[in-house]
Structure 1
Amino acid sequence: MQRRGFIGLLAGAAAWPLAARAQSDDKGGSIARIGILLADATPESSARSDVLVKALADLGYIEGKTAQFMVRFPETTPDLARFARELIESKVDVIVSVSSLGAYEAKRLTGSVPIVFVYSSDPIGIGLVESLVHPGGNVTGLSLMGGDLIAKRLALLKEAVPKMSRVTFLFDPATLYSELSAQQDAARVLGLQFRPISTPTPDTIDQAFAELASDGTEGATIAIQPMMTRESARIAAAALAHGIPTVGYHPGMSRDGLLMSYGQDFTEYLRKAAVYADKILKGAKPADLPVEQPTVLKLAINLKTAKALGLTIPTPLLIAADEIIE
């Protein structure tokens, strides 16, 4: 979906009917109504929508033939509840929410419409599911294993920056969940001084890195949150401008310029979410579909950023890397 078309959809979203009429294909069969709840109206969300729709099409859900896609995306986070309500009132057969916050808002409003979250760092902690193996309700999806991988990311950053003794954790206070304590624990195990710093808006990111540079911080890690995903390129630019080695949580962040990242490929998660939606549309219950945890983790290192920061990445790290950006 091109940006122009995506923004056109945004402009027309309010005009879409709140109660979609049942449709039939040319053989008289029913058309699956699939609600897609995106985190925002950015080009990054547009790209994720493209991947998701393509993955569903590969499974046989073709717009106007076998499926009706009802895409909603707020301009501001508080609108997530409004658009979740619209999808529910439109009587969709399933809601695929790219963000865990969108899934949470949808769950608050319905206990009957199936919901698939594409990624969540703490689906149990925020109340999306009762457990990973037995979700126990109308919600299932894919876990980012946020807490389990925090210590690994910090250890990788310490390996890349051996002299690091102080690390700062950047987070959006609106959607922190339980990650702060896990970051503190990981830093303590590595013997690092730890400092959290709030970045409530994108405009505060550069200011935060300027502050880190002035107080001698030697490394930074960032929260697994929607704003941080959206602002990956801005974070990378600010980190580089102020000379702060920073680790991210998915390979795209290193492609945007962060020194390194370790985690899941978000594109693959979108494809897997489409498979979950397909199973539900064929009769499976979310309560019976265990939350999937990542099976493939990727370490990405940006050597261009390393050179600009004056760092020499240790050979073992380079050998372990799945992707090297030069």
Structure 2
Amino acid sequence: MRSTIGGGASRGPLQGTAGLAAVTLLLSGCGAEPGGADQDGGEGEAQSFSIGIAQPVAHPSLDATREGFKEAVEDAGVQVDWEEQNAQGDASIEATIASQLAGGGHDLIATIATSQSQQIATATQGGETPVLFMVITDPEAAGLVEFWEAPGGHMTGTSDLNPVDEQLELITEIDPSVETLGILYASGETNSQVQVDLAEAAAEDLGLDIRTATVTNSAEVQQGVEALAEVDALWIPTDNVVVSALESVVQFGQQQQIPLFAADVDSVDRGAVATYGVDHHAIGRQSGQMALRILLEGEDPATMPVEVSEEHELHVNPQAAEQMGLEVPEEILDAADVVVGEGD
């Protein structure tokens, strides 16, 4: 096993200044050299593959997706040379990572989240390397596939499209006094705009007034949320920029006594009140199963429909609610799949 962080012995374009912002992990298995899959193998020998993973930023949901993906592949008994790249929230490094992985001779590239997947799509266009994207809210709107049911190119994968209408309904069940709901998101994230559009549609039926504020990077999150000081509650979509700086939003909610709700379950662990959302570790494993079908069975991404998670869980954090001046109704706690702090 060999790992390099920052400007150490990282490969190719990520050396030097860019390498200080990106994290490269090369986890070398015992099989073939990277870029040369031993897909036939001898009798009793595990098949070997080289897989690159691209991630735009580190935060619990994306990390859980990555780990679930790797577990599913390794549990199948194949040997893998992993090359993992993380842009640490720097869009310019996302492009560098995409270029490096596209030229890395991998048997498959796995890419997490919309912005990084779009960079990978551009870098691998016209090539033969299959690409498996993960947790893309709307891959068709993001330009990654022609259609959900028939991707039509070299990419397919999984969507973490949340039940936004049910999430907003949950907010009104926990706090019926909410009339105005603030949403903070990154203007450059296609996945977030899709969720905001869904929230605005759901809000009409629930009698909620939606107010939005946008940011362009994580350094703007504190200032962005301050623009929503007059709302009754906050809701954060699965926005990688905002979620990577969630602690700033949690602190604001505590100071202003404005309850914060999230779209992803990991944010509830970090201080949001509640959500009804996707288990990202599970969808990572689901993505890994799709990758195995490509690598072991020769399935064509062009004809593999994009898969969605049918399993959602209710996560509640009563202590976070109390810190924001809210008490979670007992019936909500009783119905929860996970109550943060219970049993600790």
Q: TM-score, normalised by structure 2?
A: 0.81
The one of 82, 86, 97 aligned to 1:73: 86
Q: Determine whether 1:184 maps to 2:200.
A: yes
The one of 122, 126, 129 aligned to 2:145: 129
Residues 225 and 41 (structure 1), Cα distance of their counterparts in 2 relative to 1, 3 Å cut: closer
Q: Determine whether 1:195 maps to 2:208.
A: no
User: Which residue does 1:8 correspond to in 2?
Assistant: 5
User: Which residue does 1:55 correspond to in 2?
Assistant: 72
CA RMSD, 1 decimal: 2.9
User: Which residue does 1:291 correspond to in 2?
Assistant: 306
Cα deviation digits, residues 142-171 of structure 1 (max 9, x gap): 11124xx22211111111111111111111
Distance in structure 2 (CA, Å) of the matches to 1:79 and 1:262: 33
Q: CA deviation at 1:276?
A: 1.2
Q: Structure 1 stretches of 5 or more lacking a match?
A: none
Residues 9 and 29 (structure 1), Cα distance of their counterparts in 2 relative to 1, 3 Å cut: farther
Q: CA deviation at 1:250?
A: 1.8
Q: CA deviation at 1:208?
A: 3.3
Q: Secondary structure at the match of 2:5?
A: helix
CA contact (8 A) 1:141 1:291 kept: yes
Distance in structure 1 (CA, Å) of the matches to 2:35 and 2:312: 42
- Counterpart residue identity of residue 316, structure 1: E
User: Which residue does 1:249 correspond to in 2?
Assistant: 263
Q: Secondary structure at the match of 1:212?
A: coil
Q: Determine whether 1:175 maps to 2:189.
A: yes
Q: CA deviation at 1:202?
A: 2.3
Of 233-242 and 244-253, the range deviating more from structure 2: 233-242
What are the residue-to-residue correspondences of 1:141-290 with 2, within 5 Å?
141-146=157-162, 149-176=163-190, 177-213=193-229, 215=230, 217-282=231-296, 283-290=298-305
Q: Structure 2 stretches of 5 or more lacking a match?
A: 15-32
User: Which residue does 1:321 correspond to in 2?
Assistant: 336
Q: CA deviation at 1:42?
A: 6.4
Query: Quick one: percent identity of the two aligned structures?
Result: 23
Q: TM-score, normalised by structure 1?
A: 0.86
Q: Secondary structure at the match of 2:218?
A: coil
Residues 42 and 115 (structure 1), Cα distance of their counterparts in 2 relative to 1, 3 Å cut: same
Distance in structure 2 (CA, Å) of the matches to 1:158 and 1:29: 52
Of 191-200 and 20-29, the range deviating more from structure 2: 20-29
Cα deviation digits, residues 98-136 of structure 1 (max 9, x gap): 112222221223243211111011111111122222222
Distance in structure 1 (CA, Å) of the matches to 2:153 and 2:46: 28
Residues 6 and 199 (structure 1), Cα distance of their counterparts in 2 relative to 1, 3 Å cut: farther
CA contact (8 A) 2:65 2:283 kept: no
Distance in structure 1 (CA, Å) of the matches to 2:303 and 2:37: 28
Distance in structure 2 (CA, Å) of the matches to 1:68 and 1:23: 9
Distance in structure 1 (CA, Å) of the matches to 2:107 and 2:6: 21
Residues 50 and 317 (structure 1), Cα distance of their counterparts in 2 relative to 1, 3 Å cut: closer
Q: CA deviation at 1:24?
A: 5.4
* Count of residues in correspondence between the two structures: 315
Residues 321 and 140 (structure 1), Cα distance of their counterparts in 2 relative to 1, 3 Å cut: same
Distance in structure 1 (CA, Å) of the matches to 2:13 and 2:226: 44
Distance in structure 2 (CA, Å) of the matches to 1:275 and 1:29: 17
Q: Determine whether 1:40 maps to 2:37.
A: no
CA contact (8 A) 1:209 1:242 kept: no
